Chains A and B, each alone.
Chain A
Amino acid sequence: MKTKRILLIALFISLAAILSIVERSIIIPQAHPGVKLGLANVITLLSIIMLGYKDAFLVVLLRCVLATLIGGNPVSFLFSITGGLFSTLVMVLLWRTFNQHISIVNISIIGAICHNLGQLFVASWLAHELLLYSLLPILMISAVITGYAVGVVTKRVYKSLQARQVKVYS
């Protein structure tokens, strides 16, 4: 039982790291710079649902470290870790408070919004510039769209894992 759990954590970390590296090469045409899909959030959500909050934080932390080591720089690490941890914290709190009542898609949208808020906070802190918050509208719109897409994907993956009798270890 314990080995299976460790295996699942390792699988999630490697999947999330690969997704966040692959994501860098996906360029959305005509999108505002800084707008990203947030594919690694699929894994974050799955680990919150299937592994519990402690290991979800572990997955996010190690994913950021791995993705930075393979192809990143200190600044991108700062951006991804702040956004990632803040959105994970909010999603964990929502999942634990409204366990039965909130849908995966809605949690994913709120997570995406918090991720963008966290990154914008780091950017304005680095730049000493409050004017950067004028990017807020475009980031909120993109967060709702990408959060919805990621949520739908997560729901499908979760259903398919349930159909294959992958147990929930939380």
Chain B
Amino acid sequence: MKKLNYYLTIGFLGLVLLSTVGLYLPQYRGAEQTLFLEIHKDGQLHQKIPLSTAANQEIKVTDEMGHYNLIEIKAGQARVKQADCPNQVCVNAGWLSKPNQITFCAPNKLKIKLTGQGNNLDATSY
């Protein structure tokens, strides 16, 4: 019992180490694949766009209440450029360019997500 704080500190250091590994691990996965941009609104798929071939464009998603998110596609990357939500978490998330990257706007219930097709790790390891 006396060494509780000692063990806890070691536990926290281990957690940080594990998280650092977890932070850099996904970046080594599947660099070359066709990326799709999925826009979900209110939990349903709103639009799916092949990102690598899409032209530079801006998509505005507006709901019945008049709240909007402006999504920008440029050079194979996507981001939320503008939103009228109070906390701006989705805007601050910046550019998404890798598969399985995601950003979520809770007030407007809008979610954008990059998905890869085909060449996953399981397929290439053979």
Contacts and interface: CB of A to CB of B under 8 A. Distances in A.
Interface residues of B, number: 30
A144 B106 contact: no
A141 B17 CA distance: 9
Contact of A126 (B1, B22, B89, B106): B106
B111 A136 contact: no
Contact of A141 (B19, B92, B100): B19
Interface residues of A, number: 29
Contacts of A101: 1-2, 4-5
- The DSSP consensus for interface residues of chain A is helix
Contacts of B53: none
Contact of B15 (A72, A131, A134, A144): A144
Given A33-B92, A144-B15, A127 B5 contact: no
A127 B2 contact: no
Given A134-B26, A137-B23, A123 B100 contact: no
Nearest to B17: A141
A110 B16 CA distance: 13
Contacts of B66: none
Interface in A37-81: 72-73, 75-76, 79
Interface in A115-170: 123, 126-129, 131-132, 134, 136-138, 140-141, 144
Contact of A102 (B8, B23, B106): B8
Contacts of B104: 123, 126-127, 129, 132
B5 A103 contact: yes
Contacts of A141: 16, 19-20, 23
Contact of A34 (B2, B4, B89, B113): B89
A39 B103 CA distance: 25
A136 B22 contact: yes
Contact of B19 (A73, A106, A123, A137): A137
A98 B4 CA distance: 9
B12 interface: yes
B102 A76 contact: no
A113 B15 CA distance: 10
Interface of B: 1-2, 4-5, 8-9, 12, 15-16, 18-20, 22-23, 26, 43, 86-89, 92-93, 100, 102, 104, 106-107, 109, 111, 113
